[in-house]
A and B are shown apart, each in its own frame.
Chain A
Amino acid sequence: MKILPAVACALAALVSAAASAAYPERPIKLIVPWAAGGDTDVIYRTFAPLMQKQLGGTIVVANVGGASGTKGAKEALAAPADGYTIFAVHDSIHATYYTGVADVNYTDFEPICLVSSTPSIVTASPKTSWRDMKALLADAKARPGQITVGATLGSTSHFFPAMVEQATGVKFKYVSYEGTAPRMNALLGGHVDLAESNLTQKGKADAGQLRFLAIATATRNDEIPNVPTLKELGIDVEYAVNRGLLALKGTPADALARLRAACGAAARDPGFAEAMKKQGTLVRYLDHDAYAAFLRKEDGLNKALAKELGLLKR
C-alpha cells in the first residue's frame, strides 16, 4: 500500500517537536498589547528577529490590542510562567493602573530589559490657526476647556498633554481616540485640534498634514531642528514613551537568563539603532536590575502625576 509511508511521514511531522531540548524548544510568544502597525508593534517587529537570532529560537509577535493596552497585559498574566510568553510593556502600564483602568501592575512581572525611548511631540491639526506653541497657549487661555485633544484615555497620550496643561495652567477637552493612527486621522481631518505624536509622523509634518509645535526633550532633535523644545519655551515638561520587555513572575531562572542575555545583545545590535532612528526612537538599553529600578521610579512618578492631575483612583 502506498498510503503507509505517507501515514508514517504524517506521524513523524506531528511528533518531532516532542523530543525536548534546552530552552527555547518551541516558539516564544511576545505579546504586544497594541494593534499591529502601531509604534510598539513596529519596534518589536524589528526587535524580535534580532533577539531571535541571539536566542536560537523563534519569537512570534502576537498583537492583543484593546482596552488601553490592558487586554494584552491580562492575556500575558493568564499564560503559564514557563518563559514562552513575554510581554512588551510601555509606560502606560503605570498610568492605567493608577487611573483605575485595569488591575494589572508592573509588579506582576519580572523585568527582562528596557529597549527604547520615544520622545513625545505636541502636534496640532493643520486646520488650526496656531503656527507655534505660543499661539496655542494664548488661544487655550482665551477658550479654556474648548480645545480638543485626541488621546488614549488614561494612557501616555493623555498624560503628556495633561502635564502641559499643568505646567501652563490651561485646560483642554479630551476626546477618546485610541491608538496613534486614528488620532492622526482625526488631526488631519481637523476633528480634534491637538494630540501627542512622535517622530514617526515626520513625513506627514513635512507634507503639511500635521504641525509639530514642540518636542518634550532636553535638547532639540537633529531630525527636526526647527521644532523647539518645551523647555526652551519655559514649559518644564520632558516626556518620552519607554518600552521594555517583561517576563512572568516565576519564570524559570535559566530561561530568564537566556532572555535577558538575548535582549541585551539585540538592543546593542547596530542594525536596531539604525532601524529605530527611522522610527524617531532612541535605543535605550537597561539591564534587568537597572530596568527594575527604572520601573520603580517611573511608577512613583506616574502615581504622583495621576494624583496631581486628579486621576488617581487608588
Chain B
Amino acid sequence: MIGRDGWAGLVVLAASLVLFALTLRLEDSPLVPIGPGFYPRIVLGATALLAAWMVLADLLAARRAAPRAARVRRNYALVWLMFAAFGLYVGTLAYLGFRIATLLYVAAVNALLDRPRGARGWARVAVVALATTAAVYVVFERELSVLLPRGRWTDF
C-alpha cells in the first residue's frame, strides 16, 4: 500500500526524470567550458534519488491504521474559491488594470470570507474594496513612485 508520502515521492520522481531528459537536449555554450545542462543534471539526479528514497521509506514504513479521532473539519471549498478568486485577479490584472481588478478582487474575497447580510453587509464590502484600492493606489503610485500595472483593454 502506498501512502501520501509515497505518492508525493512518485510525482517528484517523475517530474525530475522528465526534466532530466530535457536537459540532455541543451547545447553547450561557446563561452563556458561547462554547459548549461551540467548543474541541472546534478540537481535533478539528486532530486530523483531523494524522491526514490521517500517512496521506499513509505513502502517500508509500518502502516499505522490509526484514524485520528477529533479531526478538525476543514473548509476546502472556501480554499478553492479563494484560489480561484486570486487566479482570476492575477489573470485579469494585466487587462483590466490594477485599480479595477483590485477593486473587484477585494470585494469578492471580503464577501467570500464574511457573507454580507442585507444592505449594510454589501455597503461594508463596497467600502472595504474602495478604501483598500484607493489607499494602495495613492500610496504606491503617487507617493512612492512604484508603478502599478495598467489595463491593456482599459488603459486605466
A18 touches B156 (CB 8 A): yes
Closest to A174 in B: B31
- B70 interface contact, C-beta 8 A: no
User: Can you list, as one digit per residue, whether each of B94-138 has a CB less than 8 Å from chain A (1) or not (0)?
Assistant: 000001000100000000000000000001001100110111011
Instruction: Tell me how far the C-beta of B19 lies from the nearest C-beta in chain A, rounded to whole angstroms.
Output: 20
- A14 interface contact, C-beta 8 A: yes
- A29 interface contact, C-beta 8 A: yes
A29 touches B134 (CB 8 A): no
B145 touches A7 (CB 8 A): no
Please report the C-alpha to C-alpha distance between residue A158 and residue B30 in the assembled complex, in whole angstroms: 13
Instruction: Tell me how far the C-beta of B54 lies from the nearest C-beta in chain A, rounded to whole angstroms.
Output: 33
Q: Which of the listed residues B31, B126, B135, B146 has the most CB atoms from chain A within 10 Å of its own CB?
A: B31
- B77 interface contact, C-beta 8 A: no
Q: What residues on A are CB-neighbors of B123 within 8 Å? A: 3
Instruction: Tell me how far the C-beta of B134 lies from the nearest C-beta in chain A, rounded to whole angstroms.
Output: 4
Total residues of chain A contacting the partner, CB 8 A: 24
- A38 interface contact, C-beta 8 A: no
Residue in contact with A6 in the complex, picked from B32, B131, B137, B141, CB distance below 8 Å? B131
Instruction: Tell me how far the C-beta of B69 lies from the nearest C-beta in chain A, rounded to whole angstroms.
Output: 48
Instruction: Tell me how far the C-beta of B120 lies from the nearest C-beta in chain A, rounded to whole angstroms.
Output: 11
Please report the C-alpha to C-alpha distance between residue A228 and residue B145 in the assembled complex, in whole angstroms: 44
- B147 interface contact, C-beta 8 A: yes
B130 touches A7 (CB 8 A): yes
Provided the pairs A3-B127, A10-B130, A14-B99 are in contact, do residues A99 and B156 lie with their beta carbons within 8 angstroms?
A: no
A311 touches B30 (CB 8 A): yes
A153 touches B134 (CB 8 A): no
Closest to B146 in A: A60
Residue in contact with B32 in the complex, picked from A14, A26, A29, A176, CB distance below 8 Å? A176
Please report the C-alpha to C-alpha distance between residue A231 and residue B99 in the assembled complex, in whole angstroms: 59
Please report the C-alpha to C-alpha distance between residue A100 and residue B28 in the assembled complex, in whole angstroms: 13
Closest to B127 in A: A3
Instruction: Tell me how far the C-beta of B58 lies from the nearest C-beta in chain A, rounded to whole angstroms.
Output: 39
A100 touches B30 (CB 8 A): yes
Please report the C-alpha to C-alpha distance between residue A7 and residue B124 in the assembled complex, in whole angstroms: 11
Q: What residues on A are CB-neighbors of B99 within 8 Å? A: 14
Please report the C-alpha to C-alpha distance between residue A176 and residue B137 in the assembled complex, in whole angstroms: 41
Instruction: Tell me how far the C-beta of A7 lies from the nearest C-beta in chain B, rounded to whole angstroms.
Output: 6
Instruction: Tell me how far the C-beta of A9 lies from the nearest C-beta in chain B, rounded to whole angstroms.
Output: 8
Provided the pairs A58-B145, A311-B30 are in contact, do residues A10 and B156 lie with their beta carbons within 8 angstroms?
A: no
A60 touches B147 (CB 8 A): yes
Q: What residues on A are CB-neighbors of B127 within 8 Å? A: 3, 6-7
Residue in contact with B30 in the complex, picked from A11, A14, A26, A313, CB distance below 8 Å? A313
B147 touches A10 (CB 8 A): no
Please report the C-alpha to C-alpha distance between residue A58 and residue B32 in the assembled complex, in whole angstroms: 41
User: Can you list, as one digit per residue, whether each of A1-35 has a CB less than 8 Å from chain B (1) or not (0)?
Assistant: 00100110111011000100000001101000000
Q: Which of the listed residues A13, A154, A311 has the most CB atoms from chain B within 10 Å of its own CB?
A: A13
A13 touches B156 (CB 8 A): no
Please report the C-alpha to C-alpha distance between residue A198 and residue B126 in the assembled complex, in whole angstroms: 56
- A186 interface contact, C-beta 8 A: no
Q: What residues on B are CB-neighbors of A99 within 8 Å? A: 30-31
Q: What residues on A are CB-neighbors of B103 within 8 Å? A: 14
Q: What residues on A are CB-neighbors of B31 within 8 Å? A: 99, 153-154, 158, 174, 311
Provided the pairs A3-B127, A60-B145 are in contact, do residues A10 and B133 lie with their beta carbons within 8 angstroms?
A: yes
Instruction: Tell me how far the C-beta of B138 lies from the nearest C-beta in chain A, rounded to whole angstroms.
Output: 5
B134 touches A14 (CB 8 A): yes
Q: What residues on B are CB-neighbors of A11 within 8 Å? A: 130, 134
Q: What residues on A are CB-neighbors of B135 within 8 Å? A: 10
User: Can you show 25 pairs from A to B with CB atoms below 8 A apart?
Assistant: A3-B123, A6-B131, A7-B127, A9-B134, A10-B130, A10-B131, A10-B133, A10-B134, A10-B135, A11-B130, A11-B134, A13-B137, A13-B138, A14-B103, A14-B130, A14-B133, A14-B137, A18-B156, A26-B150, A60-B146, A60-B147, A62-B147, A158-B31, A174-B31, A311-B30
Using CB atoms and an 8 Å cutoff, list the residues of chain B in contact with chain A. 30-32, 99, 103, 123, 126-127, 130-131, 133-135, 137-138, 141, 145-147, 150, 156
Please give 6 more A-B residue pairs, beta carbons under 8 A apart, in addition to A14-B133, A60-B145: A6-B127, A27-B141, A58-B145, A60-B147, A158-B31, A311-B31
